[in-house]
């Protein structure tokens, strides 16, 4: 294999073959994965070896071979052009793994992605973020001195979580501020409800907002719905705007309240059978209007897509984000990991919403000055018609 270098001088000047043995193992692994493709792409493999060799032997300063191999791995994953598939270096992967151990906290902010940057949608009152002065609209440019641009939303959220009492640094760009703002925050146990509901003033319409889907969401939803039904509401407006998603099972369990008997969502794998998550029949027999926008993503789109396909309610607002794929995290050697897209969501009618989103039944643009909520106003109008009809 090393003969493909075509330059014996490089081998001699490298100081021997010890580091090339490491490289050979890496290339051998690529060949095994590529299978029969190697025969038709051997020149590309040859170029890979040559580039690493040239950098290793001719670059101005010495470069660690491990660094080069890591760079090659990142390049393989980046070549997929999938922002949700990521090579996780040992430090990042360790931070993600820490979540499953002990008691962990967060900062109390809801974030979304806008033009490749993490943008604060809401800072919950009384949380570390709100206490330090982080506000909606702030753009998070760095997490612990690492560039946050292009960081996949779920990975970014996981990185901002951590052990209660541990510190984290955020760098924020704020409109009107001449310089970046630097915050050092201490994580706390965050118990902000993911579901908030009340009866709209002067009406018999229940309003329920879901900020994200977590382990607690389905139970919080049941409690909220029980309270609203006790107040004899005649219709429900469900607000999924700027909901970045979360846990699949939580979204499915919430959907069971509203979706008639049949599929809620399919998980479509490249290999093997699709997995179906069904509803046994809706438990809430009330007219439903659902608010969505470009910040409604992933698990929120599962619920919105199920509502639309089954006719369980009416969608109002803007087209959703369009994240309809599933990621699996695989541990690698040396403490690293790989987060890889392994499946996609399909709606009950088997529509693929990835990079397409879910279209509302009634498109309503928000007002620029936010003096009133035009989307909610339209939802109330439609609900009043449903109740009257």
- What pLDDT is recorded for position 73? 86
**195-388 belongs to CATH 3.90.226.10:** yes
CATH code 2.30.42.10 region(s) in the chain: 92-186
pLDDT band at 14 (very low <50, low <70, confident <90, very high): very low
In this predicted model, what pLDDT tens digit does every residue of 301-329 receive, in sequence order? 999 999 999 999 999 999 999 999 988 88
Residue 94 has pLDDT above 90, yes or no: no
Does the pTM exceed 0.85? no
The better pLDDT of the pair 291, 95 is held by 291
CATH code 3.90.226.10 region(s) in the chain: 195-388
Query: Residue 59: which residues within 8 A CB-CB, separation 6 or more?
Result: none
CA dist 276 → 156, 267, 268, 377 (Å): 29, 6, 9, 35
Name the strands in the sheet holding 314-317, side by side, starting at the edge strand that comes first in the sequence. 195-199, 205-210, 235-239, 288-292, 314-317, 362-363
Residue 13 has pLDDT above 50, yes or no: no
- What pLDDT is recorded for position 360? 98
In this predicted model, what pLDDT tens digit does every residue of 222-280 receive, in sequence order? 999 999 999 999 999 999 998 988 888 999 999 999 999 999 999 999 887 889 999 99
Per DSSP, the three-state class of 124 is coil
**92-186 belongs to CATH 3.40.980.10:** no
- The residues carrying an active-site annotation are 298, 309, 323
């Amino acid at each position: 294999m090393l003969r493909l270098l075509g330059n014996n001088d490089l081998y001699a000047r490298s100081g021997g073959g010890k580091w090339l043995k490491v490289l050979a193992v890496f290339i051998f692994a690529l060949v095994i994965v590529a299978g029969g493709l190697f025969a038709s792409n051997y020149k590309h493999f040859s170029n890979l070896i040559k580039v690493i060799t040239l950098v290793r032997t001719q670059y101005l300063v010495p470069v660690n071979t491990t660094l080069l191999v890591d760079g090659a791995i990142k390049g393989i994953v980046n070549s997929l052009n999938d922002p949700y598939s990521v090579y996780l270096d040992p430090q990042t992967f360790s931070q993600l793994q820490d979540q499953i151990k002990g008691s962990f906290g967060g900062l109390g902010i809801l974030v979304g992605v806008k033009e490749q940057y993490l943008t604060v949608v809401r800072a919950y009152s009384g949380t570390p973020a709100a206490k330090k002065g982080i506000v909606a609209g702030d753009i998070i440019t760095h997490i612990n001195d690492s560039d946050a641009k292009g960081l996949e939303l779920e990975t970014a959220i996981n990185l901002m979580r951590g052990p209660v009492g541990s510190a984290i640094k955020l760098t924020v760009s704020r409109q009107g501020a001449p310089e970046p703002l630097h915050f050092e925050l201490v994580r706390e146990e965050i118990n902000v409800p993911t579901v908030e509901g009340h009866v709209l003033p002067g009406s018999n319409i229940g309003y329920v907002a879901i900020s994200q889907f977590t382990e607690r969401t389905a139970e919080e939803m049941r409690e909220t719905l029980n309270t609203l039904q006790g107040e004899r509401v005649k219709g429900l407006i469900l607000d999924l705007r700027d909901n970045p998603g979360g846990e699949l099972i939580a979204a499915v369990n919430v959907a069971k309240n509203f979706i008639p008997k049949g599929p809620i969502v399919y998980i479509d794998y490249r290999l093997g059978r699709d997995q179906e998550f069904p509803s046994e029949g809706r438990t809430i027999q009330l007219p439903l209007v659902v608010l969505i926008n470009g910040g409604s993503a992933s698990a929120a789109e599962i619920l919105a897509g199920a509502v639309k396909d089954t006719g369980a309610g009416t969608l109002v607002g803007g087209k959703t984000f369009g994240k309809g794929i599933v990621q699996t995290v695989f541990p690698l050697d040396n403490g690293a990991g790989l987060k890889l897209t392994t499946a996609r969501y399909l709606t009950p009618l088997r529509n693929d919403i990835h990079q397409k989103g879910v279209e509302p039944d009634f498109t309503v643009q928000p007002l620029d000055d936010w003096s009133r909520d035009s989307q909610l106003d339209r939802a109330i109008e439609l609900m009043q018609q449903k109740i009257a009809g």
